[in-house]
Every structure is written in C-alpha cells, then in structure tokens.
Amino acid sequence: MTSAAFNHNPDSQNDSQSNSTGYNFAYLDEQTKRMIRRCLLKAVAVPGYQVPFGGREMPLPYGWGTGGMQVTATIIGQDDVLKVIDQGADDTTNAVSIRRFFARTAGVATTESTPAASVIQTRHRIPETPLSHGQILVYQVPIPEPLRFIEPRETETRKMHALQEYGVMHVKLYEDIARFGHIATTYAYPVKVNDHYVMDPSPIPKFDNPKMHGNPALQLFGAGREKRIYAIPPFTRVESLDFEDHPFEIQGWDRTCEFCGSDHSFLDEVVTDDEGGRIFICSDTDYCNQRFETGAPQEAV
C-alpha cells in the first residue's frame, strides 16, 4: 500500500487516468476506494469482524473474486508489485484473468514470485513461502459467514457473533466426530481470531490455517457478492476450533511432489491416465519452481 493511490483527486477523475482503458486507476473511482479504505481500517481494528461495505459491481462475475479485487484495487498503488494466485497457482485461468485486469487498469508490475510481491491476491491458498512484514495478502471470499450453513439468516448470525454464541459451531464439529470419527471439515475450517470472532478463512484448505496465526503480513478478506470485508492484522492470534481430545490437525500426504520432491507442501493430485495413474504436484507453483530451480529435489530424494 503506497501513497500513490491517494494522489488522485476525486474531482478530476479524467486527469487521473493513468492507463489506456478510460477508467480510473485500478478501475474503481476514488470515492469508492475511500469508502472501502474506511471499512478496511475498521476491519483491521476489529480483527475477524465482518464489516459491511458498499460493494460495487465489478466487470467480473460475483463469486469470481470481486471482493478480493475491490480490496486490491483500493490498496494498490503505482509502485506495488502484484501477484495473483488461484488454487496456489499463478497460471490457473482465473488468476491469469485477474492479474491481467490489474495490469491493464492499473498498469502495475506483476510477478509470480511470492517474496517479490507487495500485494498478493489469492483464492483458496496461502503461499508456502512464508510472508514477511509489509506484504499484504488479499483473500477472495465466497461466503464470509462461518455460521451460514448452520443458520442461513443474517439477522440471526449477527446476533450470534455479537454474543459470541458459537456453541452451534462446536456442536457441528462434534457431530462430525460422532459420525465420521474426525472433524470432517477439510477447507473453510473455522478459526477464532484474537480470542473473539469466529471467522471463515475463505475456503483455504485447513492445511493453511496455521499460517494465518501470527503471520507478519496483513491479511485482508473481501466478499463482493455478500458485501463484507474482514481482516487479520499482522501478528494476530488465530486458532482453529477443536477439542482437547480431538486436536486440530492438517492434511498430510504419503507422497511427495513429482517435480520438486517437496514432502511438506500442499499437493494437488493429477490424474495421468484412466487406469488409476496419479501423480502429486505442489499446488503452489511458485514454491515448486523455486525449489526446482535451486535444486531442492536432489536434497529431498
């Protein structure tokens, strides 16, 4: 977040077009960005609390990352370097599409390298490479309300958050254990932020949940269709809900990445033939490439 984004004079939007699209820098007009910044500040001040915001229509469909895009458009400045991932990968279609959108409307530099990026917009993953202070991770969120599948009514869930009435969530997790022997939530695994709000970490795999805890980067969450913004400030306590006798645990694979040999990253399964052939590869393409190029596979083997 550089000061560049603040330089535009909202009264002379035509002058602030720094690109060929005919739209304002990073698409959104400056009044909208100001409104979203206010919501972001509130979200950072009350970690895990879902702040309603006047979400705008974006030129991409709702459900395809419009919330994350509005947050990114609001915080990005001319000197920022943007990375966009979907499912951990830089080259999945929607990541490509969103990265191009900002390259076109904001003219900012883009990268695939996690350490080189100042703003990372993500769908469904947290990069394997640890983030550092000063970086911002922007999550695309489909359903911001962790209690939605237990109580569909917004009027009710708001009350439940206000009263920290989270018993139902524990009951749900307990029912999983009773039925399956495990907590059968593998992604969008609920967390408690700063000892208060139960929060949906967007559907990242629970594998990534521990990365949210005490992360030095600022984590911002945008839900465009549902018009909610929430945040985890740097170094905030984030706990995945669990029970003493059923502690939270993450997924593991008894395979390693086919390319880089990693035995500690989230692996995607790739079907190679119709006779049960499978290989496993890192979902984080940048991490995999880094390891591949630095010769990590040899170490691992």
Partner 1 sequence: MYVAVKGGEKAIDQAHSWLDETRRGDTSIPELSVAQIRQQMGLAVDRVMAEGSLYDPELAALALKQASGDAIEAIFLLRAYRTTLPRFLASVPMETNTMAIQRRISAAYKDLPGGQVLGPTYDYTHRLLDFTLLANGERGNSSPSTLPSTQPSDETVEDCPRVLDFLNSEGLIESPLANSGRAQSGASAESEAPADLTRQPLDYPAGRDLRLQALARGDEGFLLALAYSTQRGYGRNHPFAGEIRQGEVAVEIAPEELGFAVIVGDIQVSECDMINQFVGTETEAPRFTRGYGLAFGNSERKALAMALVDRALRARELGEEVVSPAQDEEFVLAHCDNLDSSGFVSHLKLPHYVDFQSELVLLRRLRKEFEQRKSGRRGPQADATSEPGNQDGPGTDNEQRREVKQA
> Mind telling me the catalytic residues?
48, 257, 260, 282, 288
Closer to partner 1 at the Cβ: 3 or 12? 12
> Given CA atoms 37, 39, 43, 48 in this order, what sign does their dihedral have?
negative
Compute the C-alpha angle 108/109/114, nearest 5°: 125
Name the maximum alpha-carbon separation found in the chain.
Answer: 63
Q: Binding of partner 1 at residue 227 (CB under 8 A)?
A: yes
- CA 87 – CA 125 distance, rounded (Å): 6
- Of residues 231-250, which lie at the interface with partner 1 (CB under 8 A)? none
Q: Which residues pair with 197 in a beta bridge?
A: 193
List Cα–Cα distances, 217 to 42, 239, 286, in angstroms.
Answer: 17, 17, 18
Closer to partner 1 at the Cβ: 141 or 199? 141
Q: Binding of partner 1 at residue 52 (CB under 8 A)?
A: yes
- Of residues 94-133, which lie at the interface with partner 1 (CB under 8 A)? 94-97, 100, 123-125
Select from 55-63, 213-221, 231-239, 291-299 the region that touches partner 1 (CB under 8 A): 55-63
**Which of residues 7, 132, 251, 294 is near partner 1 by CB under 8 A?**
251
Select from 72-80, 162-170, 221-229, 291-299 the region that touches partner 1 (CB under 8 A): 221-229
Q: Which residue has the tokens 């359903």?
A: 143
One-character DSSP codes across 71-96: HHHHH--TT-EEEEEETTBSSSHHHH
- Of residues 59-98, which lie at the interface with partner 1 (CB under 8 A)? 59, 61-64, 66, 86-89, 91-97
| H helix or E strand, kind and range, residue 171 | helix 167-180
Closer to partner 1 at the Cβ: 237 or 279? 279
Closer to partner 1 at the Cβ: 180 or 295? 180
- Of residues 10-29, which lie at the interface with partner 1 (CB under 8 A)? 13, 23-24, 27, 29
Closest separation in Å from C-beta 267 to partner 1: 7
Closest separation in Å from C-beta 29 to partner 1: 7
Closest separation in Å from C-beta 59 to partner 1: 4
Closest separation in Å from C-beta 251 to partner 1: 5
Residue 282: what are its φ and ψ, rounded to 5°? -60, 135
- Of residues 136-195, which lie at the interface with partner 1 (CB under 8 A)? 142, 152-155, 177-182, 184, 186-188
Closest CA to 136 of 232, 276, 28: 232
Closer to partner 1 at the Cβ: 100 or 133? 100
Closer to partner 1 at the Cβ: 144 or 233? 144
Amino acid found at 262: S
Sequence-distant (≥ 6) Cβ neighbours of residue 95 within 8 angstroms: 84, 85, 86, 89, 123
List Cα–Cα distances, 229 to 142, 150, 220, 301, in angstroms.
Answer: 11, 21, 7, 43
- Of residues 256-285, which lie at the interface with partner 1 (CB under 8 A)? 258-259, 266-270, 272, 279, 281, 283, 285
